[in-house]
Amino acid sequence: MTIKQLKCDKKEIKMYIKNITVQNFKAIAFESLELNGSSVIVLAGNNKGKTSLLTGMIDRLRSKKPSIIVKEGQKDGKTILELTDGSRFEWSYNDQDKEKIVYITNDNMQETNIIKKLGTKYFGIHFDIDKFLNSSPGEQTKSLLSLIGLDLTQLEKKSKKAYDERTFARKQYLRLKNSPVVKPEQTDYSSKINELNNEITMRISKGQEYIESLQVENQKISEFNSKQELLQFEYAAAERMYKELLSHKGTVFAPCIDFKKLAIMMADIKKPAPRKKLKPLAIQDKFKYSDLQKQLEALKHKQSLYDENLRKYNEWVKDGLNAKVEKEQAEKLYTDIMQEKKQLIKEAGLPDDFEIQDDGIYYNGYLLNDTQISSSQKYIAGLKLASMKIGRVRTLHFDASTLDKNSLAEVNKWANQNDLQLLIERPDFDAGQITYQILEK
């Protein structure tokens, strides 16, 4: 919704404040402003009644009643606010806290009990421009949402949750992206490992066969040696007997012994052969495999490292893809919520040149603060927002303490372009009484 859309219908008479007369109201004894629909700057020292003069009646018509109304030492007082269509509001009050507010039409018809009925209709909803512009970005956003009648509490909760999830997903993705796992160079030790396993198996088998052949041979040697031991025993016994018989030569027994035949018999007795040594059960070098076993263990270790590095790489790729998908989903969810929020704000009637973002309110693409835009543009932004809830009387009030002459001129120019009457107050640093200056259109 634009300012042009906020303007009154051409068939409806545009109304402004023509005159404000105040008597015995708060700090004011008597003041009268002849405005004739023009903007005005009211100057005075602090607590001299600038705000009371400009907005006292308007605030009361908006149901805002001050705790002290009548000027100290006075019995009663009266405020009259006359509009450019000839109608006027009259507010009478006294020190007994009694008051009467009357609306008098341009043909002198009177109407009472008008605060709820006519206050908002004529003067709109109050929007404190100065408080808004001097608030924090968060408070400005709350005020603006309240102004356009939009409650984003639940959506803000969803937005906060989606924002946190998006932040977490982005961190997870960046953590993986910034900690790359290098894909290991493709290596296949399986064929070599199989070759070594086969060679070791063959050597073990051949070695076992060799040992078994040695065991068979040693068995034969043992049997041979046993036979020789038996022959040795038999030969030794025969030899002893032979020697004993030979000892009878020349004795009375000699004729009884055939020594020749005895010698032939002794010569025919088989002598035992020398003992054979058992062969040691030792593996030949060609059947040993400890060196192959070391090679096999080294290759298995390399293969294990490769498999582990490949697993880590594949896991990193998988986690990275999942993290990317989760990041994109989280970003889309947050974007969708922000788009929904933006659409709700647009439908609520926020002017096109305003935008509500996480860090505050933007006006014409710039953050609404002193470092981004000029003072005049900042106040124009505030007045533009206030004009969204303006009543039939096209008037807005603000404190121009921080505006220099040129900035104030820009604000007034904008107000004239948009058919607005400004009620401006500024401090008088000499602490003087109320004076005012009409700003001509």
pLDDT at 2 > cutoff 50: no
Beta bridge pairs of residue 44: 427
Q: How many domains does the chain have?
A: 2
* Residue after which a domain boundary falls, among 311, 344, 376: 311
Residue 53 lies in a domain: yes
pLDDT at 6 > cutoff 80: no
Residue 41 lies in a domain: yes
Helix (H) or strand (E) holding 407: helix 405-417
Instruction: Give the Cα separation of 295 and 289 in Å (integer).
Output: 10
* Residue after which a domain boundary falls, among 311, 338, 370: 311
Tokens found for residue 12: 């409806």
242-297 pLDDT, tens digit per residue, is: 999 999 988 888 888 888 998 898 888 888 999 999 999 888 888 888 999 999 99
pLDDT at residue number 4:
39
184-207 pLDDT, tens digit per residue, is: 998 888 999 999 999 999 999 999
Instruction: Give the Cα separation of 317 and 314 in Å (integer).
Output: 5
Helix (H) or strand (E) holding 39: strand 39-44
| 137 φ, ψ (degrees, to nearest 5) | -55, -40
pLDDT at residue number 49:
93
Going by C-beta distance under 8 Å and a sequence separation of 6 or more, which residues neighbour residue 287?
Answer: 203, 204, 206, 207, 210
Closest CA to 402 of 366, 378, 423, 383: 378
pLDDT at 137 > cutoff 80: yes
Residue 14 lies in a domain: yes
- Give yes or no for a contact between 170 and 328, defined as CB atoms under 8 angstroms apart: no
Residue 17 lies in a domain: yes
Q: In what order do the strands lie in the sheet with 360-363?
A: 354-357, 360-363, 366-367
Instruction: Indicate the average pLDDT of the chain.
Output: 91
Three-class secondary structure of residue 64 per DSSP: coil
Range 348-374 average pLDDT = 90
Instruction: Give the Cα separation of 374 and 368 in Å (integer).
Output: 9
Residue 181 lies in a domain: no
| Most confident option among 21-25, 364-368, 399-403 | 21-25
106-136 pLDDT, tens digit per residue, is: 999 998 888 878 888 999 989 999 999 999 9
368-415 pLDDT, tens digit per residue, is: 988 889 989 999 999 999 999 999 999 999 999 989 999 999 999 999
pLDDT at 84 > cutoff 60: yes
Range of the structural domain that residue 433 is part of: 3-124+390-439
pLDDT at 25 > cutoff 70: yes
pLDDT at 159 > cutoff 70: yes
**What does pTM read for this prediction?**
0.65
Categorize the per-residue pLDDT at 12 as very low, low, confident or very high, splitting at 50, 70 and 90: low
| 211 φ, ψ (degrees, to nearest 5) | -60, -45
CATH number at 102 reads: 3.40.50.300
59-83 pLDDT, tens digit per residue, is: 999 999 998 999 999 999 999 999 9
* Residue after which a domain boundary falls, among 311, 341, 360: 311
Share above pLDDT 90 across residues of the chain, in percent, rounded to a whole number: 72
Instruction: Give the Cα separation of 11 and 27 in Å (integer).
Output: 40
Residue 335 lies in a domain: no
pLDDT at 229 > cutoff 90: yes
- When computed from its CA atoms, the radius of gyration of the chain, rounded to whole angstroms, is 59
Residue 434 lies in a domain: yes
Based on the domain organization, do 19 and 104 belong to the same domain? Answer: yes
Residue 328 lies in a domain: no
